[in-house]
């Protein structure tokens, strides 16, 4: 059996503040195989973007990786010196940020930024790097790339800028791409185009993708597996069809129940009461228990571990025989 490309084991990230240490990620674990798209979903504050930043080595002070390990192709990378990590970042792991304007320098032409990135990670000459940049723009669907390559970011629409950012992420042919909300600021038709580009990259290049989003429609359309996060923890992970159609965790059920259907059948959408807890006020035990309609005796005091149940792993006492000996209560 081929080992996963990315292995994250018990990853813990903390931020030191004047009010104490805040734990943004608490023993997060997951794998991503080559050519696989893992969707990471949850409300704002769940820890999705922090997870992506930790994998690519962009946790700056006062933040730090306080525990666990991150392995890329079997090699641990979370403890690499900054110079060594810079060789991994961009070359082996690419990043697509939510807002393309934060990734593109408005003072430089698109082509200059692409060529600089390509030459940083390859031995190509300036002319060869420019040809490579034009090919990348064509691959991500930029029309007339040989002309648009000399344009500035402000001359591109939001969707076209996002395509340029994808081209930048691909410039060194990385093995893994972390896409942090790549379709959030785009309209539905452009979202579909960006999703098509990401899926084609996985198919044609064998690139693994960690897709961070709160949009379950994007997950259902793009991902092979999905990890549901809540309060810095992975609470359910499995094949996208299983999690979307038959979620186990009450929080995941709430997320799926809030998605409108296109069947024409009128139904009241589910609503999860309350909001994501602040990092300074995460409840003991199961962090979802104050909002959970099925919370019972062990939930406020005992933290449920992510364990296999039936179709896929879930962190919920309702599926733990030690606490629910008569079967699933949900």
Q: Is the pLDDT of residue 325 over 60?
A: no
The sign of the dihedral angle between the CA atoms of 180, 259, 285, 6 is negative
208-229: per-residue pLDDT in tens?
999 998 877 788 888 999 999 9
- To the nearest whole percent, how much of the chain has pLDDT over 70? 94
233-290: per-residue pLDDT in tens?
999 999 999 998 889 999 999 888 777 666 656 667 778 888 899 988 999 899 999 9
Cis peptide before 300 (omega within 30 of 0): no
Strands annotated E in 33-85? 37-41, 63-72, 75-76
Nearest-angstrom CA–CA distance, 75 and 213: 27
Contact 250, 292 (CB under 8 A): yes
Q: Which residues pair with 313 in a beta bridge?
A: 308
Homologous superfamily (CATH) of 6-92+172-319 is P-loop containing nucleotide triphosphate hydrolases (3.40.50.300)
> Which residue would you say has higher pLDDT here, 203 or 42?
42
142-162: per-residue pLDDT in tens?
899 999 999 999 999 888 888
Q: Is the pLDDT of residue 305 over 50?
A: yes
Q: Record the tokens describing residue 285, joined without a space.
A: 């035990």
Q: Is the pLDDT of residue 76 over 80?
A: yes
Nearest-angstrom CA–CA distance, 268 and 263: 14
The Cα-based distances of 36 to 126, 201, 244, 256, 292 in angstroms read: 33, 10, 17, 22, 32
Q: Which residues contact 124 (CB under 8 A, 6 or more apart)?
A: 118, 132
The predicted pLDDT at position 21 comes to: 92
Query: What is the average pLDDT across 171-175?
Result: 86
Q: What is the dihedral of CA 93, 94, 96, 97, to 10 degrees?
A: 70
4-43: per-residue pLDDT in tens?
999 999 999 999 998 889 999 999 999 999 989 999 999 8
Q: What are the domain boundaries of the chain?
A: 6-92+172-319
**pTM for the full model?**
0.88
The predicted pLDDT at position 71 comes to: 95
Q: Is the pLDDT of residue 112 over 70?
A: yes
């Amino acid at each position: 059996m081929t080992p996963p490309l990315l292995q994250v084991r018990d990853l813990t990230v903390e931020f030191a503040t004047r009010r104490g240490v805040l734990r943004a990620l608490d023993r997060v674990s997951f794998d991503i195989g080559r050519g696989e798209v893992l969707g990471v979903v949850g409300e704002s504050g769940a820890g999705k973007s922090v997870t992506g930043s930790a994998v690519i080595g962009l946790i700056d002070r006062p933040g730090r990786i306080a525990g666990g390990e991150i392995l890329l192709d079997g090699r641990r990378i979370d403890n690499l010196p900054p110079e060594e990590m810079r060789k991994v970042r961009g070359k082996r792991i690419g990043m697509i940020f939510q807002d393309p304007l934060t990734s593109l320098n408005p003072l430089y032409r698109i082509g200059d930024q692409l060529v600089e990135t390509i030459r940083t990670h390859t031995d190509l000459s300036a002319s060869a790097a420019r040809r490579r940049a034009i090919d990348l723009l064509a691959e991500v669907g930029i029309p007339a790339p040989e002309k648009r390559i000399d344009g500035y970011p402000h001359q591109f629409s939001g969707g076209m800028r996002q395509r340029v950012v994808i081209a930048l992420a691909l410039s060194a042919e990385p093995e893994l791409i972390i896409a942090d909300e790549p379709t959030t600021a785009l309209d539905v038709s452009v979202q579909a185009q960006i999703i098509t580009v990401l899926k084609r990259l996985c198919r044609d290049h064998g690139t693994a993708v960690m897709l961070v989003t709160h949009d379950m429609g994007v997950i259902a359309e793009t991902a092979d597996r999905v990890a549901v996060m809540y309060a810095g923890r992975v609470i359910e992970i499995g094949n996208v069809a299983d999690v979307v159609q038959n979620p186990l965790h009450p929080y995941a059920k709430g997320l799926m129940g809030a998605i409108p259907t296109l069947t024409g059948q009128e139904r009241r959408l589910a609503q999860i009461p309350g909001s994501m807890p602040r990092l300074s006020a995460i409840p003991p035990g199961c962090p979802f228990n104050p909002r959970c309609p099925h919370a019972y005796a062990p939930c406020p005091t005992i933290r449920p571990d992510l364990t296999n149940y039936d179709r896929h792993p879930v962190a919920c006492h309702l599926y733990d025989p030690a606490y629910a000996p008569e079967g699933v209560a949900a």
